[in-house]
Amino acid sequence: MKRTTPGETGLSRIVKVLEAFDKGKSTLTPAEIVRRTGLPAASTYRLVNELIDVGFLDKSDGGVQTGVRLWELASRESKTLSLRNTALPFMEDLQDAIRQHTQLSVMDGTDILYIERLSAPDAVVNITRIAGRLPAVVASPGLVMAAFGNRELQEAILAAELPQYTRFTPSTTADFRRIFAEIRRQGYARMDGWIDEGVSGIAMPVRDAEGDVIAALSVLLPNDGKTPRMALPAVQIAAAGISRALGWSPSHH
């Protein structure tokens, strides 16, 4: 008898349980976890208790939530948190200047993952959230990281579905290849009305000491022509500030 089959190891069950916390659900009952994961009930209840014991889950009114101890282990000495700490003061300055969503993202596979966001109360519509992800192809930080990434990454991103949100969304891989080249030439990505006709996204690359693009700084602005054009230098300066704080210098490259 096989001890485990792929997708049924203890670790993959832990991942499934943690993945169940999604779509605004910060508290789940064990029964909801069973339903959302499709795992066997008895062993899932046992696993939930084990996860509580080690602090990966915390008991909560009416169920369990992801644990503060898990957050601590994931955050302590984390490069993600370190990048975010370096970026935060520059993001605050940018947010002060433009009074709109200011976001920091990294790539994970072909998705972008938002690791920080500062928002103004009256800012434009935004479909993202911190620790949320989107396919790289539908957001300006994904485009800028793809454009400055290697050909392999670009092809993987373009192999995914190309959702059509508005009449301005590019619809063919040829469109995107042309856009990648344009982004490399101009040094930033700008998406006017691609996701929502009223919203424009601008993203700039964030570089580490070796000059590699490791993150993207982005803003969402009203798609009124003049606001995105006026905001460009501010976003550029803030992104360069983060890169410099990470050890990057234009003279080295």
* Rounded CA separation 204/144 (Å): 7
The minimum distance between CB 168 and a second copy, in angstroms, equals 30
Would you say 15 or 174 has its CB closer to a second copy? 15
Beta bridge partners of 213: 207
Would you say 113 or 220 has its CB closer to a second copy? 113
AA identity, residue 231: A
Would you say 26 or 171 has its CB closer to a second copy? 26
**Inter-axis angle of helices 151-159 and 140-147, nearest 10:** 140
By the 10 Å C-beta count (0-12 exposed, 13-18 middle, 19+ buried), 80 is classed as middle
Q: Which residue has the tokens 């002060």?
A: 96
The minimum distance between CB 224 and a second copy, in angstroms, equals 26
Q: Where do contacts with a second copy occur on this chain (CB under 8 A)?
A: 9-12, 14-15, 18-19, 21-22, 24-26, 50-51, 54-56, 58, 60, 65-66, 68-82, 85, 88, 92, 106, 108, 113, 115, 118, 130-133
The minimum distance between CB 175 and a second copy, in angstroms, equals 29
Task: State residue 38 phi and psi, 5-degree precision.
Answer: 75, 15
Would you say 88 or 162 has its CB closer to a second copy? 88
The minimum distance between CB 93 and a second copy, in angstroms, equals 11
The minimum distance between CB 187 and a second copy, in angstroms, equals 25
Do residues 177 and 168 touch, judged by C-beta distance below 8 A? no
Q: Kindly report the length of the chain.
A: 253
Would you say 70 or 162 has its CB closer to a second copy? 70
At 206, list the tokens: 């964030």
